[in-house]
Amino acid sequence: MGAAFTAKCWVARATGGLSRLSGRGGGTTVPGRVLLSMDRGAIPQLVTGLDRGSIVVSSTNGKTTTAGMIAGILQRAGRHPVHNRAGSNMHWGVATALLEQQGDEGLFEIDEAWLPRVAPQLRPRLLVLGNLFRDQLDRYGELERVADEWAELVASLDEVELALCADDPLIADLGRDRDLHRRPGVTYFGIEDVSVALPELQHAHDAKHCRRCGAPYSYDRAFVGHLGHYTCPNCDADRPRPEVAATRIELQGMAGSRVLVETPEGELTVELPLPGLYNVYNALAAISAGLRSGVDLATIAAALAAMKAVFGRVETIEVAGKPVSILLIKNPAGANEVLRTLQLEGGGRDLDLWIALNDRIADGRDVSWIWDADFELLSGAVRRITCAGTRASEMALRLKYAGWSTDRMVVHQAIAGSLDSAVAEAPDALFALPTYTALLELRTLLSDRGLAGEYWQ
Amino acid sequence: MSDPTSEMNLRLLALYPEQMNIYADRGNIIFLQRRCEWRGLGFSYAAAGPGEDFDPVAHDLVYIGGGQDRDQVLVAEDMLRTKRDAIAEAVEDGAVLLAVCGGYQLLGHRYQLGQQSIRGLGIADLETVRGEGERLIGNIAIEADLGAGPKVLAGFENHGGRTHLGAGAEPLGRVLHGHGNDGADGREGVRRLNMVGTYMHGPLLPKNAWLADHLISLALRRRTGDAVELTPLDDDLERAAHEGARHAAERG
């Protein structure tokens, strides 16, 4: 590393420190932005210090949680990866982590659209790829194009190891070469317990055509969105058999789940304190990454059992003496899983909900996705619902057309005011479902009141 | 659903709902269905997918949405082969056809997708070219006059193609905020008889209840032969959502 580059790093770190002191914007990615503005090639220079290499995690849904689980596993094994936390998953978030943290290995969560640009600069040892769903089409263009770019990326990274979801055909195919032979260094993970399958394919179904021959896939069952057991009736691009497989899953509502997992190293039982099948997938990805990083099963199981929710992905905070559970919603597949979890949680009891729909750039300015999510699932199970955020009235309209009673509905745009009255009106627990920027507003509000930690810590 | 043989029954046909649904097109259909049910009108839903033909006199409102490139190419070929004549016959006979985004592009003579030229239905005088330019993405508001004076439609557009109307083609409306057909001439969509083609999704109808009701009226009129007065509904939320979408377009 040259003296000039070292000086740039120093300037960038100092600017970040100032920004944090002044209390503006959390300062999470300022040093990286400053450094990249001075030196576009900074990331490849910074990663040369990571002797054990890097793990890169990406997916539409669950990348922050999966990376958080892998961090927990590595830390329990006594390792301290440089890790871009708090969902700062574009190249300045990565540069910031590399500037501010010391370590001999990297763990980076990368936004799915940025992955093809950022991953080659990181030269990862292991790529952990979970799923691709329709999400923010206004920003990313079409899903199949993202899948094509990922395929080019994987083909260009020689000798990279892969942990891939077998149940997502868009992901599983990345583990096979042109002749459909399995690449070396691939671990597939997936769900084998058919008792948790959906009764039918959900509407927001994103992988219809075989990646190889274009024939429509045939699905025996689906678990989350288009993740499931599929075959191609026309060629051999079927679902690969997963080595890391959830063979028995007991879902326990918001409390989490208990999962029996078969792995090449033996069986383990995971007591997962995070709810829903989507978190089972995140855990399977993290187990695969842990095994590929040389961590033993007992350590992995202990780390997962100790997982706390990552940055508002699912957490419960007490507000005015009542538990407020926060569940991020941002696209149809993710929202459907949240709705399914709440259906289990309710168990016939009517729920108090607060849903905040924002249309800022980080949310996706196009809010049409709410019409693809199955809000119908909870139509008879809600006591009182507050719609907040910049597009609160459109959210309320969606619920009205999903069969929710408008008598139980309040439209109140302001985040703070609407949350306070929703808490005041709730007899007990409130479930808060914000989109991404509404989650940021909510977290800031709660941490200003001393109820939740600052998010960049 | 009430008696499907009743005259006061909206008979909707969705074309390729499995392939052409990328921007929450389902929202348009849910919206039509509920508004019929709340008025005590019947609603029947039918779908025609790949390889399937349909009876042009059995449906009064035909819907086609947007799809990914691959789906759109497959659908274009299949639609020409199995449905073109029925669609043209239905439109000439006064059926309502609402085509959004990718479905709108397929109404024209052709869609030039890079090197690939896709033949369209040729029932609207327009063609679409997708070149190197940026996708046209954002909130949009237009002013459209469908016979009762100018009214605003608000929604979201996201298209790589530029659509050019032929000399005789009438646009759906004039762009107030946003890009429209080609990002240049200030026109959005197309209309002919009771056919409406548009880039506006979001989805379109929930953001513009007046258009949904207008299309329901036209479809029932084709069914019954008489003008149909629709019962007014409590539309406070619909109006608020429309205003929200308009403001989003004004913010840019």
Query: Confidence class of residue A455 from pLDDT cuts 50, 70 and 90?
Result: very low
Statement: residue A443 has pLDDT above 50: yes
Q: Which string of DSSP letters, residue by residue, matches A23-81?
A: TSGGGSSHHHHHHHHH-TTHHHHHHTT-TT-EEEEE-SSSHHHHHHHHHHHHHHTT---
Residue B226 · residue B175 · CB < 8 Å: no
Q: Does A379 touch chain B (CB under 8 A)?
A: no
Subunit contact B34:A367, Cβ cutoff 8 A: no
Catalytic residue status for B101: yes
Q: How far is CA A360 from the centre of its chain?
A: 19
Q: How far is CA B242 from the centre of its chain?
A: 17
pLDDT at res. A454: 47
Q: Does A359 touch chain B (CB under 8 A)?
A: yes
* Region B42-55 average pLDDT: 95
Structural domain spans, chain A: 3-14+25-305, 313-446
Statement: residue B1 has pLDDT above 50: no
- Residue B49 dihedral angles phi and psi, to the nearest 5°: -105, -160
Query: Confidence class of residue A380 from pLDDT cuts 50, 70 and 90?
Result: confident
Q: How far is CA B189 from the centre of its chain?
A: 9
Determine the residue of chain A that is closest to B135 in CA distance: A141
Percent of chain B with pLDDT over 70: 98
Which has more confidence, A335 or A15? Answer: A335
Q: Round the average pLDDT of chain B to a whole number and report it.
A: 94
Please choose, from the candidates B164, B167, B82, the residue with its C-alpha nearest in 3D space to the C-alpha of residue B126: B164
**Which tens digits make up the pLDDT trace of B157-211?**
999 999 999 998 999 999 999 999 999 999 999 999 999 999 999 899 999 999 9
Q: Does B73 touch chain A (CB under 8 A)?
A: no
Best of A390, A401, A412 to disrupt the B interface (most B CBs within 10 Å) is A401
pLDDT at res. A362: 86
Statement: residue A314 has pLDDT above 70: no
Statement: residue A26 has pLDDT above 60: no
Q: Quick one: CATH architecture of A313-446? A: Alpha-Beta Complex (3.90)
Subunit contact B202:A144, Cβ cutoff 8 A: no
Q: Round the average pLDDT of chain A to a whole number and report it.
A: 89
* Region A237-264 average pLDDT: 94
ipTM over 0.90: yes
Cβ-Cβ contacts under 8 Å, B23 against chain A: 137, 366, 368
Subunit contact B30:A401, Cβ cutoff 8 A: yes
Query: Confidence class of residue B18 from pLDDT cuts 50, 70 and 90?
Result: confident
Query: Confidence class of residue A457 from pLDDT cuts 50, 70 and 90?
Result: very low
Residue A346 · residue A340 · CB < 8 Å: no
* Region A302-320 average pLDDT: 80
CATH class of B9-251: alpha beta
Sign of the CA dihedral running A160, A166, A170, A176: positive
pTM: 0.84
Asked if the A3-14+25-305 domain carries CATH number 3.40.50.460, the reply is no
Statement: residue A204 has pLDDT above 50: yes
pLDDT at res. A361: 87
pLDDT at res. A456: 37
* Region B94-106 average pLDDT: 97
pLDDT at res. A308: 74
C-alpha dist (Å) from residue A434 to A92, A160, A282, A296, A442: 25, 36, 21, 37, 8
Best of A144, A205, A358, A366 to disrupt the B interface (most B CBs within 10 Å) is A366
Statement: residue A435 has pLDDT above 50: yes
Statement: residue A212 has pLDDT above 50: yes
Determine the residue of chain B that is closest to A371 in CA distance: B27
Statement: residue A320 has pLDDT above 90: yes
pLDDT at res. A138: 61
Cβ-Cβ contacts under 8 Å, B156 against chain A: 138, 365-368
Query: Confidence class of residue A133 from pLDDT cuts 50, 70 and 90?
Result: confident
Query: Confidence class of residue A451 from pLDDT cuts 50, 70 and 90?
Result: confident
Neighbouring residues of A58: CB distance < 8 A, sequence distance ≥ 6: A109, A110, A111, A112, A115, A119, A127, A128, A129, A130
Q: Which string of DSSP letters, residue by residue, matches B145-196?
A: ESSSSEEEEEEEEEES-EEEE-TTPBPSEEEEES-TTTSSSSEE-EEETTEE
Q: Does B46 touch chain A (CB under 8 A)?
A: no
Query: Confidence class of residue A44 from pLDDT cuts 50, 70 and 90?
Result: very high
Best of B16, B38, B68 to disrupt the A interface (most A CBs within 10 Å) is B68
DSSP secondary structure letter of residue A182: B
Subunit contact A369:B138, Cβ cutoff 8 A: no
How many A×B Cβ pairs under 8 Å?
Answer: 89
pLDDT at res. A254: 82
Percent of chain B with pLDDT over 90: 83
Which has more confidence, A160 or A21? Answer: A160
Residues 199-238 of A with CB under 8 A from B: 203, 208-209, 214
Statement: residue A226 has pLDDT above 80: yes
Task: Identify the weakest region by mean pLDDT among A379-388, A412-421, B16-25, B105-114.
Answer: B16-25
Catalytic residue status for B242: no
**Which tens digits make up the pLDDT trace of A76-117?**
999 999 999 766 888 888 999 998 899 999 999 999 989 999
Cβ-Cβ contacts under 8 Å, B201 against chain A: 368
**Which tens digits make up the pLDDT trace of A350-378?**
999 999 999 998 888 999 999 999 999 99
Question: Side by side, which strands form the sheet with A322-327?
Answer: A314-319, A322-327, A430-434, A351-356, A382-388, A409-411
* Region A388-411 average pLDDT: 97
Structural domain spans, chain B: 9-251
Residue B219 · residue A386 · CB < 8 Å: no
